[in-house]
Amino acid sequence: MTLDRRSGVFLHLTSLPGRHGIGDLGAGARTFLDFLDRADQSLWQVCPVGPTSGAYGHSPYGSDSAFAGNPLLVDLDDLADRGYLDDDAVEPPEWTDPHQVDYERVAPFKRERLREAFENFEAVASTDARESFAAFRERESEWLADYALFSALKDAHDGAPWTDWPAELADRDPDALDTAREEHADEIDYRAFVQWVFDEQWAALRDAAAEHGVELVGDVPIYVAADSADVWADPDVFELDDDGSPTAVAGVPPNAGDSGQRWGNPVYDWGTLRETEYDWWVRRVEHLLSRVDLARIDHFKAFDEFWAIPAEADEPAAGEWREGPGAEFFEVVRERVGELPFLVEDLGFLDESMVALRDRFEFPGMYVPQYADWCAEWDRYKPTNYPGNAVAYTSTHDTDTAVGYYERLGDEQRDCLHYALATDGEGIAWDLVEAVWYSDAALALTTVQDLLELGSDARFNTPGTAEGNWRWRVASGALDDDVADRLADLTDIALR
């Protein structure tokens, strides 16, 4: 894939300003596009946009669907404009925090209003709106029907995992599913309605981005949650036992200084997928690329080989490396989908076979200066060493902010960083932005936290921790014209 030199900003949608306690697809997103336009940026990267829940700490990487959109991102003001909510329903609640998402309050608040909007839609929707909804359900039926039924059944069983449902439902007995569709028809319609609204609002946002000359960069988590519509609807795609539980789960092996990670997601049955010409994955990629212009593949290493941990084992060290689908997978997907505009997360596993797979398809890998050994004469993560076919970040959703990283550096590394960047560290966030922008990497990205020179209290996620993540928000007005103009000036000099 040939890349033109471009730059942009990484900010997940939940972190936008918004009237209802969480960033959404509404006015805050449009204001951010205005900022990107003034700042002369052409990329906006976000985390996955699937449904989130308290079961996974509202992590965008722990969703019950690889296809559906997150209901919490739906813009309620748009629903009021359509006549599906009255003005009182969309008044901002008093508890909204401009700096944090309070999911415990946001989730019930928005879901209550989404149900009200659905009821009003059924009562007052125009013929055109009803036809649009029906057309959406037909177009997206391949995933939507299963997702809506899964969500309805999960609600009917008080949120219990699908493996704990009655056997006839867990095993997808056709007669039992037909009965369930009749019994839960209204709930299924509601779930489909929310997805239709999300789809329409997303399409409008993408059109607005294009008008601003901004491309959207999405994210592909390689694995899905065990308790998801994906695993329930397509169990043959995964390594499961007779009751639907994983026989092996995903993770990473121990490295120097850590004991590895056990993520708990079921691993894929790549043999079965190969027999179907990777159909499930093809559909997933097609759906994603209908929403975004570029996509980051999370944990790219697993397409080369993946760490499989026996489901009954608690320790990651009990796992083993297994062969992934390799080049054949991407060749098949490219043949069926077309160009693969992928960026790949290749951090931490730079072995020969993975690099060969990445380079065979010319996928740009990730470079983050926070992983640099600043005192080494040559280190791949020092910005002066970045290759052209690369995507470089000042920080990511999984790292500390630039300021927080700098404050944690040891004295020797800090002195070496000062020398490498010719800085005294007083404006370290922008020093790193400049270093990434002046590197040879084709794509240069920073975060809003780094543009605002924020410390560790603005960190978005700390891997391996379960509390306090995915909640940070940027306050309205923080991204002012001075910040935009500074970034535009740098972009004009460094990337043109």
Residue 251 to residue 263: CA distance in whole angstroms: 5
What is the pTM (predicted TM-score) of this model?
A: 0.97
Per-residue confidence (pLDDT) for residue 255, from 0 to 100 = 83
Range with the poorest average pLDDT among 280-284, 401-405, 420-424, 464-468? 464-468
Residue 153 to residue 160: CA distance in whole angstroms: 9
| pLDDT, tens only, 17-33 | 999 999 999 999 999 99
Q: Is there a catalytic annotation at residue 298?
A: yes
| pLDDT, tens only, 205-256 | 999 999 999 999 999 999 999 999 999 999 999 999 999 999 999 999 998 7
Confidence band for 1, pLDDT divided at 50, 70 and 90: low
Q: Residue 374 pLDDT more than 90?
A: yes
Q: Residue 467 pLDDT more than 90?
A: no
Strand partners, 472: 100
The residue among 195, 207, 232 whose CA lies nearest residue 68 is 195
Sorted by sequence, the CB contacts under 8 Å of residue 371 that are 6+ apart come out as 347, 381
* Beta pairing class for 390-393 and 443-447: parallel
Structural contact between residues 74 and 114, judged by C-beta atoms closer than 8 angstroms: yes
* Beta pairing class for 305-310 and 320-323: antiparallel
Q: Is there a catalytic annotation at residue 277?
A: no
| pLDDT, tens only, 139-149 | 999 999 999 99
* Beta pairing class for 6-10 and 43-45: parallel
Integer CA distances (angstroms), 307 to 221, 317, 321, 330, 349, in order: 15, 10, 5, 20, 12
Element (H or E) spanning 216, and its range? strand 215-220
Other beta carbons within 10 Å of 139: 10
Alpha helices in 184-267 (DSSP H): 185-211, 229-233
Structural contact between residues 17 and 28, judged by C-beta atoms closer than 8 angstroms: yes
Query: What is the arrangement of strands in the sheet containing 320-323, beginning at the earlier edge strand?
Result: 261-266, 248-252, 305-310, 320-323
Q: Is there a catalytic annotation at residue 398?
A: yes
Residue 88 to residue 205: CA distance in whole angstroms: 25
The residue among 177, 111, 173, 114 whose CA lies nearest residue 150 is 177
The residue among 223, 272, 269, 265 whose CA lies nearest residue 245 is 265
| pLDDT, tens only, 390-435 | 999 999 999 999 999 999 999 999 999 999 999 999 999 999 999 9
User: 88 or 3: which carries more pLDDT confidence?
Assistant: 88
Q: Given 200, 345, 400, 431, which residue is catalytic? A: 345
Structural contact between residues 223 and 56, judged by C-beta atoms closer than 8 angstroms: no
Q: Given 97, 119, 171, 298, which residue is catalytic? A: 298
Q: Given 119, 379, 398, 453, which residue is catalytic? A: 398
Per-residue confidence (pLDDT) for residue 259, from 0 to 100 = 87
Residue 402 to residue 85: CA distance in whole angstroms: 42
* Beta pairing class for 43-45 and 320-323: unpaired
Q: Across residues 42-67, what is the average pLDDT?
A: 95
Confidence band for 55, pLDDT divided at 50, 70 and 90: confident
Structural contact between residues 370 and 459, judged by C-beta atoms closer than 8 angstroms: no
Other beta carbons within 10 Å of 167: 11
